[in-house]
Amino acid sequence: MAAGTCLDANTASVAAVIRGEQAVGWLARLELPARLVGHDGWVTVVAGWPRHPPAVSA
């Protein structure tokens, strides 16, 4: 979750948990970038969150 402040990110993340499956559309409409992981491990990214983490060189 990314937002303008830590408080906003925390509030939105709690609301997303409460919304369950409807959180994806809600976050997209608010244009709040997020990476959501389901109980089954399925990852969904929303509103510009990177699909793959950047490569780290050793």
- Nearest 5°: the CA angle 5, 39, 56 is 60
Residues 6+ apart with CB under 8 A from 39: none
Whether pLDDT at 55 is above 80: no
Give the model confidence (pLDDT) of 13-25 as tens digits. 999 999 998 999 9
User: How does DSSP assign 3-14, residue by residue?
Assistant: -SSHHHHHHHHH
Cα of first residue to Cα of last residue in the chain, in angstroms, is 27
The answer to whether 35 and 49 have CB atoms below 8 angstroms apart is yes
Is 0.85 topped by the overall pTM?
Answer: no
Mean pLDDT, range 43-58, rounded to an integer: 85
| Eight-class DSSP state of 35 | E
